[in-house]
């Protein structure tokens, strides 16, 4: 890829892109909480988003009901092997996007290491996420997430205590 295109894409994403981390309650996971990372950009014109998808080498492109095109990468593997390396090579100019991307990378590393499966790791991820995107609009407050985490930990302790009593 030509360096000019890489830096053009980085500049475009600097202004229009977003790195997000969501935390959702799940009953079918080892942990009661699922950490998901997502990179996305939306635009009226599909051309630049098609360029993004081709040069980053992953993701999906779709059109919303309102006519806006949406490019996103949700695959943790693709985020770790394509998105993060791309934007480490073609860096951002704005301090805000560099900071958000740095926090996103730190969270991705914690997930890669399995730290998202521990209470301590989830708390650290919440702290890092709160430093991104100016705090962002969250579907669930930190208090709600921590309550789920606390309830999950208490259920685990009770189960282990019962299992030990059966021995």
> Which residues face 71 on adjacent strands?
41, 61
- Count the alpha carbons within 13 Å of 108 in the hemisphere toward its beta carbon: 23
Q: For position 163, what pLDDT does the model report?
A: 46
Q: Which residue has the tokens 């770790």?
A: 80
Note the pLDDT of residue 133: 77
Express each pLDDT in 131-163 by its tens digit: 997 755 656 566 777 776 676 554 444 443 444
Question: pLDDT tens across 19-53, in order?
Answer: 999 988 877 666 678 899 999 999 999 999 999 99
Q: What is the C-alpha to C-alpha distance for residues 134 and 138, in angstroms, rounded to an integer?
A: 11
What is the model's pTM?
Answer: 0.83
Give the chain's largest Cα–Cα span.
66
- Segment 127-133 shows an average pLDDT of 89
Q: Which domains does the chain have, with CATH numbers?
A: 3-165 (3.10.28.10)
Residue 54 clears pLDDT 80, i.e. is over it: yes
Buried b vs exposed e over 114-139: b needs ≥16 C-beta within 10 Å?
Answer: ebbeeeebbebbbebbeebbeeeeee
């Amino acid at each position: 890829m030509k360096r000019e295109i890489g830096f053009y894409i980085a500049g475009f994403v600097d202004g229009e892109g977003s790195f997000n981390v969501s935390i959702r309650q799940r009953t079918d996971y080892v942990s009661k909480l699922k950490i998901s990372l997502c990179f996305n950009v939306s635009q009226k014109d599909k051309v630049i988003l098609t360029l993004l998808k081709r040069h980053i080498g992953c993701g999906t492109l779709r059109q919303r009901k309102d006519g806006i095109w949406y490019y996103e990468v949700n695959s943790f593997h693709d985020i770790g092997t394509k998105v993060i390396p791309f934007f480490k090579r073609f860096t951002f100019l704005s301090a805000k996007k560099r900071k958000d991307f740095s926090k996103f990378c730190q969270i991705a590393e914690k997930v890669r290491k399995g730290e998202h499966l521990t209470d301590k790791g989830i708390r650290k991820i919440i702290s890092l996420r709160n430093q991104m995107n100016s705090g962002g609009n969250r579907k669930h407050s930190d208090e709600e997430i921590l309550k789920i985490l606390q309830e999950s930990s208490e259920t685990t302790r009770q189960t282990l205590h019962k299992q030990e009593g059966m021995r």
